[in-house]
Structure 1
């Protein structure tokens, strides 16, 4: 039996993020050499990449990077299979490295990001595949957001204290307000609201016309089924469609910290406008 200690197993797990039994088997094969065991795990991990393609990556982390005095920001979701890997330092470090790379190269979309070179001679796709091999799980990078030209802020929410953030929000305000402190406060408040209430659209103007038409049809059919009087239908339908907007459009939603005001009203009182936002929840 190979000569190694519990400390060697711990060190190998810290270096690779692999499971305890995999580390022990690698150390047995490497005759106790931690360095050789790292190589063995990497080789075995690379062989297993294709086998893991059909597996589900429903855990992971959302990371953010704000730079240039809140002029730019990045939000990245990196997914894995288990919470054990998600909360590991190596996994979170990989997500942070990808976020920093996005901030540096500003890729047009996810395919462009995956094809870009994050290290000398290594694309982001190769970097993700390497993490896949090293960590022994399916690792997926399929979305990111990057905002600039305005005041950009982020909010990250942990759904469990022992896991990295599972929900992340990136918001971009206009740059008209001269009060930086006020922008910082309202940006955080609105980002937290978005994290909690998950609006589907920024404003009612962003809702597809076919969706609005469908909501009107459903509202009318429901009202008729309920036996509402014909003359009251237009008002009832309009009220229910407005209810849809209040549920799904950020600017129409009652503000989380003061539900007597809409988010639009709170922004107006603060003297700012929100240009866009992104909300990621791991696996959703």
Structure 2
């Protein structure tokens, strides 16, 4: 059995918010496998064991550019070290201009975007110049470009921390706006069940089976219970299965909304700033010092 170290316990606590001793017991039971230990805790503790996984810690913004006819659009995430810099006008301008370049030039990756002309140099030289002025590292993390047969809608929320680009076919502009706002609020992982990874579905099924057995449910009912749990999970994480956030009856799903409006969704992109990234360690005094230094550069 692998040695259960303090760092392993710490990582599992950060993932799950579970008590330290529960984390240690789960790691021992799993033989040191952190992913399996997380499953064990979810069986024992329910949804509390997964809420830390949604924490967003890195700073930056999401920027979006749409063509005038709504047929071409781009969404980009640009990161920085502090929230103070994320509100800097020059930083915001860099993000917006990069989004426009992605829409127009369709670069293959971040390196190709960095080589595109900007100002008197390139995107990369502009980024480096801004790093020098601000005194903080900046990076272009990811982007996506869409060319639609229908029309694109976009939405930016929470100080540009969440951005959505959605492609609708049919319907009207209000439907597109509602869809983009819904995606920002509900954060679906996929358009429908075909876009959900098989291993995620299997994990939910496995957890449901173990929870049913621990609850003493009859063996003959366990598979049916697991099927219901998996379907509930799919409804929660897919756009088509989610209940529309503005539904007056609290029941209308996105699939039902689209049918009523004579529309469909070809796809969407959702960026949440810092998703999956870790924030650098700092304290308040260091934060203030960084802000003062940045202000002095202006």
The answer as to whether partners of 1:72 and 1:152 remain within 8 angstroms in 2 is yes
- Determine the C-alpha separation between the residues in 2 that align with 1:94 and 1:187: 27
**CA shift for structure 1 position 206:** 0.7
- For 1:55-134, list aligned pairs within 5 A: 58-119=58-119, 122-134=121-133
Q: SS of the counterpart of 1:254?
A: coil
Aligned length, in residue pairs: 216
* Pair member with larger Rg: 1
Q: SS of the counterpart of 1:90?
A: helix
**CA shift for structure 1 position 194:** 0.9
> Taking structure 2 as the reference length, what is the TM-score of the superposition?
0.68
Per-residue deviation, residues 189-246 of structure 1 (Å, max 9, x unmatched):
1111111111111111111222222221221121111111122122211100011112
- Determine the C-alpha separation between the residues in 1 that align with 2:104 and 2:119: 12
Residue 282 of structure 1 corresponds to 273
Q: SS of the counterpart of 1:252?
A: coil
- Determine the C-alpha separation between the residues in 2 that align with 1:58 and 1:215: 28
1:228 to 217, 228, 234: 217
Asked if 1:205 corresponds to 2:194, the answer is yes
- Determine the C-alpha separation between the residues in 2 that align with 1:266 and 1:108: 35
Per-residue deviation, residues 7-48 of structure 1 (Å, max 9, x unmatched):
xxxxxxxxxxxxxxxxxxxxxxxxxxxxxxxxxxxxxxxxxx
Residue 185 of structure 2 corresponds to 196
**CA shift for structure 1 position 247:** 1.6
**CA shift for structure 1 position 154:** 0.5
Per-residue deviation, residues 79-114 of structure 1 (Å, max 9, x unmatched):
112222221211111111111111220112223222
- Determine the C-alpha separation between the residues in 1 that align with 2:221 and 2:124: 58
- Determine the C-alpha separation between the residues in 2 that align with 1:213 and 1:99: 37
- Determine the C-alpha separation between the residues in 1 that align with 2:177 and 2:95: 22
> Taking structure 1 as the reference length, what is the TM-score of the superposition?
0.72
Tell me, which stretches of 5 or more residues in structure 1 are unaligned? 1-56, 159-163
Tell me, which stretches of 5 or more residues in structure 2 are unaligned? 1-56, 276-298
2:251 to 257, 260, 270: 260
**CA shift for structure 1 position 78:** 1.4
The answer as to whether partners of 1:151 and 1:183 remain within 8 angstroms in 2 is no
**CA shift for structure 1 position 119:** 4.5
Residue 272 of structure 1 corresponds to 263
1:171 to 166, 191, 200: 166
The answer as to whether partners of 1:168 and 1:281 remain within 8 angstroms in 2 is yes
Residue 249 of structure 1 corresponds to 238
- Determine the C-alpha separation between the residues in 1 that align with 2:230 and 2:92: 42
- Determine the C-alpha separation between the residues in 2 that align with 1:111 and 1:244: 37
The answer as to whether partners of 1:117 and 1:123 remain within 8 angstroms in 2 is yes
Q: SS of the counterpart of 1:228?
A: coil
The answer as to whether partners of 1:128 and 1:141 remain within 8 angstroms in 2 is no
